[in-house]
Structure 1
Amino acid sequence: MAHYASSKKPGSILSAFKSDKDEELPEKYLSLKQELLNTNNLKDKLANSWTRLVKEIENETKEIKRLGPNVIPQVEFSDISKNGGTFPQNIAEEVRKRGMVVIRNVVPQDEALEYKEKVKEYIQNHKGEIAGFPDDDPQVWELYWSKSQVAARSHPNFVAAQTAMNSLWHAAPETLIDFSINTTYCDRLRIRKPGDTSFALAEHIDGGSVERWEDPEYRNCFKSILSGEWEKYDPYDATHRVNAIMDLYNCSGGCSMFRSFQGWLSLSTVFPGGGTLRVCPIIKLSTAYLILRPLLEDLVETTNMAGAKQGVQQHILPEFHQPLIDAVVSIPQVNPGDCVFWHCDGIHAVEECCNSVTDSSVFYIPSTPLCNNNIKYLARQRYALENGVTPQDFPLNNCEVDFSDRAKPSDLTELGKLGMGFTPLSLDAASTEKLSEGAINARKEFNKVLFEK
């Protein structure tokens, strides 16, 4: 099982953001820029494309400023349930435009609050044994296997919400992806104390940085943008996402699974200003801006990739991305049991101060549909649960190995076993008759990788 051992260094959530801003990238990025400009005649189309884009962002930003947090779509989980497990059409259109949503009352409030109390007991039981950020007073804990987290990840309502999020995507019929099955991605938790100013994350994007241009398959996701026709870009086409390499440089906290949406379950009542999430709710426009920015005149003859560095997440910086920062807004009030999801390419940040009388606490749990990259990761993650080690993507702290009260595979529900890759998927006619060729093959791959010796 040595091939499942992580090669990450010990650390915290800060490890994914550390970089030397003055460090120059290798010369290969200068050559890459020339290649990108020469492909599909982008060099001739760039100026006009950029002008159209900037104007559209200016118009959208005015609307965001007018609406404030209310620009973020909100929906009751019960409305999704009544609609057969998918978003009502008008809400779906708004979520796709904004790239994020708040889903209300996914988990009953008393259950969400119990999750928090139980995980606080877990932390107290192992005082001084758990890494976190900041070191002297952790707010984000390097914990993955508390029984509360494991239970939340497989809560039937939460899994249904994740599946609804996945259904907003599509792919070519032959693509190995099944949006009807959500795999489990095990992430950390946050318990941010009132008045805290330490856990303030500036605007950034997860899912890699230079990889978006450097990896050919990842770059294919943005082909329309790099052809000077950003209007044709579809942020919800997963055809090239399933095999894209998002972590070429072993980022500690760089996600190697395809997260259709990042997400969390709220364990607190948090208002705008209370240490909550901030987002840029123009996913198509912000992505086009990000991809084109290193190719503009001020950077094209340099190796500078406009906030993208090797081995860290994508930084969104005032000197390169000010119009996008201007469009960032805090999300509306959330309560225990509400869920928040944002697009995997979405710009997001955390408010500088937890200006609240209560904590701002969440379990990080994204949506991760069944696909090739995710199946490969499940094998490693399954091993991590069995042995209590840190999952592959995260800093190698291994805090929970000797915790007798951590979750074990025996603590998983049937739904939890399926999401974690402990149960094969059905391939009978009744289960697959409505699936695409690619979805069926994704299920076959799941069974082959995880259950064939």
Structure 2
Amino acid sequence: MMLSSTNAKAKGNISSVFAHLGASTTKLDPRFVTLKKDICKTTDVLQASYDRLISKFEEEKKEIQAKGSSVIPEIHINDIKNNGGRLPDAVAALVKKRGCLVVRGLLDRTVAMQYKADIKQYIDNNRDVMVGYPQDQPQVWELYWTKAQAAARAHPHFDIATLAINQLWHGHPDTPIDLSKNLTYCDRLRIRVPGDENFALAEHVDGGSLERWEDPEYRKCYEEIFKGHWENFDPFDVTHRIEAEMDLYDAPGGCSMFRLFQGWVSLSDITPGGGTLRVCPLIKEQTAYYMMKPLLEDHKDQADFMGAWPGRCQDISATHHRPIIDTMVSLPTMQYGDGVFWHCDQVHAVEPKNEMKTEDSSVLYIPSTPMCRRNTEYLKRQRACFLAGITPPDFPGNNTEQHINERATPESLDTKQKIGMGLLPFSSSSLDDNSTPGQRQALKQHNDILGF
């Protein structure tokens, strides 16, 4: 098995990618005005499309504000299992509209509580080398290799849930991706203490910022929006996303893997107001809005993409994106072991304060990352970091866990965890007569890239 080296990012914490948390921004070069005009030759059609979009927002806003958190679809993990590993049609339709899904019972409550206890002990044992945000009282820890995180990422219920939501996506049969296989992406964790107001992430979009317009392949994902037909935009078409470049500027928090859905699993009971996640539950409309507005007649001559800067997450603000802000909702009450998944284009935020008086607001961040060339290439780099005990390639190069004996190692992983981490190959027996040419190509690429 060949190992890969990785270029470490600078030291830091989660604030380094968010302008609203103090990360620096750069005035855009005039070439971005030319880019706008190349994307949209005439603004008349786009303006008419925008006007229809505003009307749609006004219509949808009434229902969203009336329902609040209950507008977010929910399902229990047992209902997915009892439906052959698929979402029931009614739930699937809601997720395709809302862009997100709460999965109840993703982990058993006692299992989630034990994971949390183990992580807190890990922190207590090694607090002198730990880094987080904010540094004086971390709420988001730069930790990736705890045994609890490794176990949660490979939990059978996580597989069931993510493979069910992955099936909402589609592409040409020759597209080299396998939506029935997830690779492991190692992300941070959050333990937000009662009363915390520091970890307040304002509305934003991950997966790059300027890249959505600037990268030619990424831009193809939104062609229908640029043509003035936002109604025809398909947020779940995977075809152009697998080769889209999401990190042109080596962002300190840029995600190199293609995440169909971002996600987390709760390690506490979290009420609305408890520092929980907020989303805009209109995946097609909100994406059309922030992709279209900078190209309109009033803005086309400005080197400005309304909150998108090189190497930063894309900020969504009341100044530029009022209809999105007006339709944001918080998650319903989450319990230990409940999970949530949200679309990679989805505008989301973290409530400004954990208003729970005695309970922390704790989660493990675990996305859905299917098998494709881009994801396997990142997995190879991540594998090398894991073996060395250093920070994964996408994150600030603090390397605080390198000398911690309690961290996960190859010896502590079971077979399933090793496959997800690229330490063992996926077997060709996982393919069958119904496998597409794209699935077969993705599997071959995967094992070749990892040296199997």
Q: So what's the TM-score if we normalise by structure 2?
A: 0.97
Mapped to 1, the partners of 2:406 and 2:246 lie a distance apart of 34
What secondary structure does 2:179 align onto? strand
Equivalent in the alignment of 2:389: 388
2:26–2:310 Cα contact (<8 Å) kept: no
Equivalent in the alignment of 1:260: 260
Superposition map of 1:332-411 within 5 A: 332-356=332-356, 357-411=358-412
Structure 1 residues 3 and 81: CA distance shift in structure 2, 3 A:
closer
Superposition map of 1:142-153 within 5 A: 142-153=142-153
Mapped to 2, the partners of 1:14 and 1:371 lie a distance apart of 29
Equivalent in the alignment of 1:127: 127
2:194–2:355 Cα contact (<8 Å) kept: yes
**Aligned-pair distance for 1:362?**
0.3
Mapped to 2, the partners of 1:277 and 1:9 lie a distance apart of 28
Mapped to 1, the partners of 2:117 and 2:8 lie a distance apart of 33
Equivalent in the alignment of 1:291: 291
What secondary structure does 1:320 align onto? coil
Whether 1:29 and 2:32 are equivalent positions in the alignment is yes
1:166–1:368 Cα contact (<8 Å) kept: no
**Aligned-pair distance for 1:21?**
7.5
Whether 1:431 and 2:431 are equivalent positions in the alignment is yes
Equivalent in the alignment of 1:271: 271
What secondary structure does 1:128 align onto? helix
Superposition map of 1:326-337 within 5 A: 326-337=326-337
1:200–1:352 Cα contact (<8 Å) kept: yes
**Aligned-pair distance for 1:20?**
6.8
2:242–2:374 Cα contact (<8 Å) kept: yes
2:280–2:348 Cα contact (<8 Å) kept: yes
Structure 2 alignment gaps of length 5 or more: none
**Amino acid paired to 2:367:** P
User: How many residues are matched?
Assistant: 448
Q: So what's the TM-score if we normalise by structure 1?
A: 0.97
Mapped to 2, the partners of 1:139 and 1:347 lie a distance apart of 22
Mapped to 1, the partners of 2:13 and 2:403 lie a distance apart of 19
2:6–2:384 Cα contact (<8 Å) kept: no
1:154–1:413 Cα contact (<8 Å) kept: no
2:3–2:380 Cα contact (<8 Å) kept: no
Deviations 1:384-441 (A, max 9, x none): 111111111111111101111110012222221111112212224x733221110110
Superposition map of 1:303-318 within 5 A: 303-318=303-318
**Aligned-pair distance for 1:298?**
2.8
2:141–2:188 Cα contact (<8 Å) kept: yes
**Amino acid paired to 2:258:** F
Q: Percentage identity across aligned positions?
A: 49
Equivalent in the alignment of 2:202: 202
The CA RMSD over aligned residues, in Å, is 1.4
**Aligned-pair distance for 1:159?**
1.7
Mapped to 2, the partners of 1:415 and 1:354 lie a distance apart of 36
Structure 1 residues 293 and 67: CA distance shift in structure 2, 3 A:
same
Mapped to 1, the partners of 2:8 and 2:129 lie a distance apart of 21
Mapped to 1, the partners of 2:291 and 2:11 lie a distance apart of 31
What secondary structure does 2:271 align onto? coil
**Amino acid paired to 1:26:** D
**Amino acid paired to 1:379:** K
Mapped to 2, the partners of 1:134 and 1:343 lie a distance apart of 27
Structure 1 alignment gaps of length 5 or more: none
Mapped to 2, the partners of 1:421 and 1:299 lie a distance apart of 46
Superposition map of 1:167-206 within 5 A: 167-206=167-206
**Aligned-pair distance for 1:167?**
1.2
